[in-house]
């Protein structure tokens, strides 16, 4: 009985490792949760203070169908908490999004090509009222990876989402390069890219990263107005593996032209209210989290 249980565990993790090869980084987080916080100032005459905190949860479940195909289902949840405070008033508001990407990864028999396609239904709102079709978005993601050799991969693809401000297309391209046995460069531009160095192999990693993430949330104001959040980050990171598959991570960086802004329904016209979603100054941020992570480069 004990041997059978151990064998099942080995089979499960072997399947997971097979399914992770060729995805856009040398690891996949089966579960990932984090909190990111920044403090800034509004661009107003009242010298209002802003505090913004993002809470994230990601769950990934790859299911091996055969030696070439993997079914992928993910869950992504976000809570964007924003506060404004000045000498006259204070307010805190929450925005939420839940995303359920579902799709398939296919690898050719010669192991040179891998293709990932995902359908991405999403609910995004402050959820103060009952969920409706106005809170719904639908998107898709396609990525092709060509392996030149063990150290070099080229990737190209397309991301699409029907945002509340309209159709949003992002062409994708990147190069993954294992420069040395300690230095790696990987990601998918223009969304994410990391330069990672193994200070202590399988224990301590650090590096520099870039992130670009645009999304929108419906406001329950009776008019179906929305908030657009275009987030650009330049940051440094540290990953500490407390166990082989459990990692504590921290990031410190700077926002670039960051402001969650409110717009009129089905337009790109800015709202003057609510003031909580008006322009803020760029600021430093800190992000900490915990993940159950499987790396394909761990022995």
- Over the stretch 95-124, which tens digit does the pLDDT of each residue have? 999 999 999 999 999 999 999 999 999 999
Q: Are 260 and 268 in contact (CB under 8 A)?
A: no
What's the CA gap between 111 and 109, in Å, rounded? Answer: 5
Domain map (residue ranges) of the chain: 2-295
What phi and psi, each to the nearest 5 degrees, are found at residue 35? -135, 130
- Over the stretch 136-174, which tens digit does the pLDDT of each residue have? 999 999 999 999 998 999 999 999 999 999 999 999 999
| Residue 5 clears pLDDT 50, i.e. is over it | no
Q: Are 85 and 49 in contact (CB under 8 A)?
A: yes
- The architecture that CATH gives domain 2-295 is Beta Barrel (2.40)
Name the token pair of 69: 């195909």
- Over the stretch 122-133, which tens digit does the pLDDT of each residue have? 999 999 998 999
Q: Are 207 and 193 in contact (CB under 8 A)?
A: no
Q: How much is the pTM? A: 0.87
Give residue 80's pLDDT band: very low, low, confident or very high (50, 70, 90): very high
What phi and psi, each to the nearest 5 degrees, are found at residue 270? -70, 145
């Amino acid at each position: 009985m004990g041997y059978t249980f151990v064998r099942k565990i080995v089979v499960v993790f072997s399947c997971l490792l097979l399914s992770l090869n060729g995805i856009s980084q040398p690891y996949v987080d089966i579960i990932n949760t984090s909190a990111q916080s920044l403090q800034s100032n509004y661009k107003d005459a009242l010298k209002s203070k802003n505090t913004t905190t993002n809470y994230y949860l990601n769950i990934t479940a790859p299911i091996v169908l055969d030696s070439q195909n993997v079914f992928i289902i993910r869950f992504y949840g976000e809570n964007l908490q924003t506060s404004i405070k000045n000498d006259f008033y204070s307010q805190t508001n929450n925005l939420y999004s839940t995303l359920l990407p579902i799709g398939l990864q296919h690898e050719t028999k010669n192991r040179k090509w891998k293709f990932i396609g995902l359908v991405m239904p999403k609910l995004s709102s402050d959820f103060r009222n009952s969920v409706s079709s106005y809170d719904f978005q639908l998107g898709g993601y396609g990525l092709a990876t060509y392996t030149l050799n063990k150290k070099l991969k080229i990737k190209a693809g397309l991301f699409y989402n029907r945002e509340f401000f309209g159709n949003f297309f992002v062409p994708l391209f990147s190069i993954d390069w294992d420069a040395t046995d300690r230095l790696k460069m990987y990601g998918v531009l223009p969304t994410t890219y990391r330069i990672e160095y193994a200070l202590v192999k399988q224990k301590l990693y650090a590096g520099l990263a870039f992130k670009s993430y645009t999304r929108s949330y419906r406001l329950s104001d009776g008019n179906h107005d929305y908030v657009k959040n275009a987030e650009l980050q330049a940051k440094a990171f540290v990953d500490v593996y407390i166990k082989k598959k459990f990692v504590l991570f921290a990031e410190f960086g700077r926002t670039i032209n960051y402001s969650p802004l409110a717009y009129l329904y089905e337009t790109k016209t800015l709202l003057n209210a609510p003031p909580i979603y008006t322009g803020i100054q760029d600021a430093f941020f800190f992000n900490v989290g915990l993940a159950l992570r499987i790396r394909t480069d761990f022995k």
